[in-house]
Amino acid sequence: MAEAHMSSQTLAAPTDHAEGQQHPIRLYLIVWFWLFVLSACSYAVDLLQFQGYLRWGLILMLMVGKAGLIIAVFMHMVWERLALSYAILVPPVLVLVFVILMAFEADYTFFTRMEFFGASPAVPAPVVH
């Protein structure tokens, strides 16, 4: 009986550990360095005066890279469970997919109207008072 009482006490004993997680400062310094590099590249895109789709493609890629680093390390998503990561990351991806689908539908509607109604813009009817 004494053994059963003793084992239940040892199982119920609180463990001595620090609250929260401690990550090495080196990790944060590396992430800050890469954020600085990506920001410098983003500034270089503007400084080198890239134009058109190249400019916006580079800016968006650099922006997504910086956001990914911030979300992964500073918001601690790297250390979270996969289900929580999916719950946070999947909805914005789905919104992006739906926006792309709407853009295709808008182009289809525009080209269909151009096909049936002509290339000239609509002339407003004169206002009669």
* Both tokens assigned to 64: 């997504």
Residue 5: the pLDDT is 53
Tell me the pLDDT of the chain (129 aa) as tens digits: 555 555 445 555 455 555 666 778 999 999 999 999 999 999 999 999 999 999 999 999 999 999 999 988 988 888 888 888 888 889 999 999 999 999 999 999 999 988 888 766 666 778 887
Confidence at residue 122, expressed as pLDDT on a 0 to 100 scale: 63
Report d(CA 5, CA 15) in Å as an integer: 18
* Beta-carbon contacts of residue 59 (< 8 Å; ≥ 6 apart): 42, 45
Q: What is the pLDDT of residue 124?
A: 74
Angle at which helices 25-47 and 52-69 cross, to 10°: 170
